[in-house]
Amino acid sequence: MAASSKANHPAEDTHGSLRSYTIGFVFSIVLTVIPIAIVRSDWLEGTANAVVLMGAAVLQLIVQLLFFMHLREEKNPRYNLLSLIFGLVILLVVVAGSMWIMMFNQVAG
């Protein structure tokens, strides 16, 4: 079974090393913990809070694209562009949907 999976990938294709996956994982954890800490401890309010949270989301997208989707390692630039566009569409949907939910589901008080 292992031999057949290797036959599907040319020898020059790399999927990343343990080091790159570990670095990406650590960055992902840090970029997840920072917004959680900011929200739970009320360090920022209003616009500053939203800017930091959206900034962390954009950085998280960049980390995912570079370390896990191997955007920088692709040989074919068309696939790079498609990966980037797909990531940006997902980012737009998640951020716009989250903002929609937060704005229109506030409890009047």
User: Distance (Å, rounded) from C-alpha 70 to C-alpha 103?
Assistant: 35
pLDDT tens readout for residues 21-46: 899 999 999 999 999 999 999 898 88
The whole-number pLDDT of residue 86 equals 85
Q: In the chain, which residues have pLDDT < 50?
A: 1
**Domain range summary for the chain, segments of one domain joined by +:** 15-104
Predicted structure pTM score:
0.61
In terms of C-beta distances under 8 Å and separation of at least 24 residues, what long-range contacts does 46-55 make, across chains too?
54/95
Would you say the C-alpha torsion 9, 14, 19, 25 has a positive or negative sign? Answer: negative
